[in-house]
Amino acid sequence: MPRGLDSSIQTALTDRKILAADLVELHFSPAVYFTNASIDINYDSTTAPDTGTNSYLAQGQFIEFSNIKETADVKVNSLDISFTAVDLTTVALVLNNDYIDKRVVLYRVIFNLDGSFDSTKVFQIFDGKINAWSIGETQETASLSIQCSSQFADFEKLSGRTTSVASQQLQFPNDDGMEFASKIVKDIRWGRE
C-alpha cells in the first residue's frame, strides 16, 4: 500500500469494486477546479488557494492524465493533463493567464460503494507546476493538453548572473559591455587555472 494513506483509504482500495474519480486544481487567478466525475464535487482541500469548500466542476472536458510514477531518485516527474471537446472558455483559461509555473494539484477520490462522496477518502497524487500547453483540433472536436512537472523541474538550474547583455542590463540598464562576450570568450575560467 502507498505510504501515508489513511486506513479508510487503504481499506477502500482493497475492495473488489472501486468507484473513483479525479480532482484537479489549476492555480490560475482565479483558481479553477475540475473533476472527471459525473457530478460536481464539493471539497475543502488544503492546497487550494481559495479558503473553504470549493466546487470541482464535472464539465465533461477533463478526461485523463498520463501515468504518474513515484521513484526514490531525485528526478523531474512529469504529467500531461488532457481535456477534450474544449470550448472557448476553457481555452481562454490558459490563454488569458500567465500559466508558466502555476501550481497544479491532482487528487484521487474513492467513493463509497453506494456512490456517495466521503471527504475522508480523498488523497493527493500529484503536486507540480505548468510547463506548457498545446491545443489540437479536428473538424469535429478540439483538445487541450497541459504539461506539468514536479517541484524538481528546476533542480539542476544554475541561478545567478550570466555573460549576456540581458543579464548585465538587469543591474546596469544602459551598459552594453557584454554585447560581444559570447563571440570573444567561449569558456571563462572563473577561479580556475
Per-residue pLDDT tens for 27-37?
Answer: 988 898 999 88
Average pLDDT score over residue span 38-59: 90
d(CA 57, CA 152): 29
What pairing do the DSSP bridges indicate for beta strands 142-149 and 54-56?
A: unpaired
* pLDDT surpasses 50 at 149: yes
Average pLDDT score over residue span 92-114: 85
Whether residue 112 is found in the same domain as residue 21: yes
Average pLDDT score over residue span 181-191: 62
- Please give the radius of gyration of the chain, using alpha carbons only, rounded to the nearest integer: 22
Which residues constitute the domain of residue 186?
Answer: 160-193
pLDDT at residue number 54:
93
pLDDT at residue number 65:
75
Q: Domain count for the chain, please give it.
A: 2
pLDDT at residue number 72:
60
Pick from 46, 60, 32, 62: nearest CA to 123: 46
CA-CA-CA-CA dihedral for 19, 67, 147, 110, to nearest 10: 20
CA dist list (Å): 101 to 17, 57, 92, 97, 161: 37, 23, 17, 11, 21
140 domain residue, yes or no: yes
